[in-house]
Amino acid sequence: MNFLAHIYLSFGDQEITLGNFIADSIRANKYTHLPERVQQGIMLHREIDTFTDTHDIPKISSKRLHKNYSHYSRVIVDIFYDHYLAKNWSTYCDTPLDVYVENFYDLLEDNYKILPVGVQRMMPYMIADNWIYNYSKMEGIAKVLNGMNRRTKNKSKMNFAILDLEEHYEEFEEEFTAFFDELMVFSKQKFISL
């Protein structure tokens, strides 16, 4: 899952949200200097990733993309799934997406000092271009895919994946919906056990 899903699956706990968000920037166990709940958020993120990587439904979505994008297909699916979460946000959350995202950006700014350097560098661009809110729009997803392709020095060709999303829009959405229902239950159980 990508940024929005990890934030959402922190169930409103601010420190868990921070950990869940920064986890991809933390290697191995290099997080013991962080507050305990932030550490737990990192562990929750890793549990969510393991569940996602081993679940049959995201594998089906990924297989549809594998021929064109090889090992990048899983990353693309994470981005697609965040699109459907953002697009269908009112199904999952009573707080409007724009307000929810602004509150998250405020949380990042309030905790800037504990963010990994890579997140600190990325944050101004994320906020200025409102990445997370723009997941709800096809143009926003296209921009993310273009940026990811640039990061791979154009090797991934991820910028073309927007065409796959358009072509198989309903199938990806059905897969997301079925998977996310299960992921919410799993994540809530893990959250409660932290």
173's tokens: 């959405």
Which pLDDT score, from 0 to 100, does residue 109 have? 97
CA atoms within 13 A on the CB side of 89: 22
Which pLDDT score, from 0 to 100, does residue 1 have? 74
pLDDT tens for residues 32-55?
A: 999 999 999 999 999 999 999 999
Task: Report how far residue 14's alpha carbon sits from residue 26's, in angstroms, rounded to the nearest whole number.
Answer: 18
Task: Say how far residue 81 (Cα) sits from the centre of its chain.
Answer: 8
Which pLDDT score, from 0 to 100, does residue 93 have? 98
Residue 176: burial class (beta carbons within 10 Å; 0-12, 13-18, 19+): buried
Hey, what amino acid is at 40?
Q
pLDDT tens for residues 52-75?
A: 999 999 999 999 999 999 999 999
Which pLDDT score, from 0 to 100, does residue 30 have? 87
Q: Give the CA dihedral 132, 135, 140, 143, nearest 10 degrees.
A: 70
Which pLDDT score, from 0 to 100, does residue 185 have? 98
pLDDT tens for residues 66-121?
A: 999 999 999 999 999 999 999 999 999 999 999 999 999 999 999 999 999 999 99
Ramachandran region, residue 51 (left: φ > 0; alpha: ψ -120 to 50; beta: rest): alpha
CA atoms within 13 A on the CB side of 149: 14
Q: Which of 150, 152, 176 is nearest to 62 (CA)?
A: 176
Predicted confidence (pLDDT) at residue 163 exceeds the cutoff of 80:
yes
| Total count of domains within the chain | 1
Q: What is the pTM of this model?
A: 0.96
Look up the domain containing 26 and give its range.
3-193
